[in-house]
A = this chain, B = another copy of it.
Amino acid sequence: MNEMDQARRDLVIANRILAREDVVDAYGHVSMRHPQDPGRYLLSWSRSPELVEGGDIVEFTLDGKKVSADNRPPYLERFIHGAIYEARPDVQAVIHSHAEDLLPYGITHAKLPPVIHSGSVIGNDVPIWDIAEKFGRATNLLVVNMEQGRDLAKTLAGNRLALMRGHGFAAAGRSLMDAVRIGVYAPKNARVHMAALRLGVPLPLHPGEIEARTDLFNPNTAEMWRAWEYWARRANVADLLGEPPKAAKGTSRN
């Protein structure tokens, strides 16, 4: 399987995982930077993530134009993806989601700190972007052009997650698997933080702990593969999984 086919396959897996784990529903989307051309990204046309298949993946330039002629309607908010890739050469995958557990933070401007080890994926700081600040109080809240996408990317800055007021979030991963981890664990971290508020003042992770965990990330370990395989099975796309990385393989299993 060549690099492009693998990329499309992994993007399909990511779509299905995020749908299964309630990170996206009919809305929300996940993209990855083109593996061979950093000036492009891969994203489904306007389909529900749980229905996305390999043939649905379309190539876009960073400003949101289709690379090839294709009459299928694109996501209105694809500019979120391109603007982040443009501003952040380190980012290889982007998720936009309306996941319920993060929405309360965006509408109260309450700080969401990482409080559990898997939640370290959200990073030290989670900024909140309010579309009304620059674009006024009469938008439909959607990010529908590059100007809006760039403004969001500016608020995201060097972070891994930005909340969008009254709307959702954008997550920026160093790889597709990394982005999916943000998508799944950010809501869990939020639920735990919110529940802890009932008990007292939640102790956030120490900065050194967040750093140690971020440095830890390596898609080729048994630990990372374990989650990817687990999620793919739950999403009924285990058959799409390729060969596990060498470090995650068991040879004497019966």
Q: Determine whether A237 belongs to the interface, using a CB cutoff of 8 Å to chain B.
A: no
Contact A227 B26 (CB under 8 A): yes
Q: A238: shortest Cβ distance to chain B, in Å? A: 10
A2 at the interface (CB under 8 A from B): no
Rounded to whole angstroms, the CA-CA distance of A206 and B133 in the bound complex is: 12
A177 to chain B, nearest CB (A): 12
Give how many copies assemble into the complex. 4
A133: shortest Cβ distance to chain B, in Å? 12
Known A115-B166, A138-B206, A140-B212; contact A229-B194, beta-carbon cutoff 8 A: no
Is there contact, CB below 8 Å, between A209 and B137?
A: yes
Binary flags per residue of A62-77, CB closer than 8 Å to B gives 1, else 0: 0000000011110010
A residues with CB within 8 A of B: 25-27, 45-48, 50-51, 53-56, 70-73, 76, 98, 100-101, 103-105, 107-110, 115-118, 132, 136-142, 165-167, 188, 191-192, 194-203, 205-209, 211-213, 216, 222-223, 226-227, 229-231, 233, 247-254
27 sample A-B contacts, Cβ–Cβ < 8 Å, listed by A number:
A26-B226, A27-B223, A27-B227, A45-B250, A47-B226, A48-B227, A48-B233, A50-B233, A56-B253, A73-B222, A73-B247, A73-B250, A100-B191, A104-B192, A104-B195, A108-B200, A108-B201, A110-B199, A137-B206, A137-B208, A139-B208, A139-B209, A139-B212, A140-B212, A166-B205, A197-B198, A198-B198
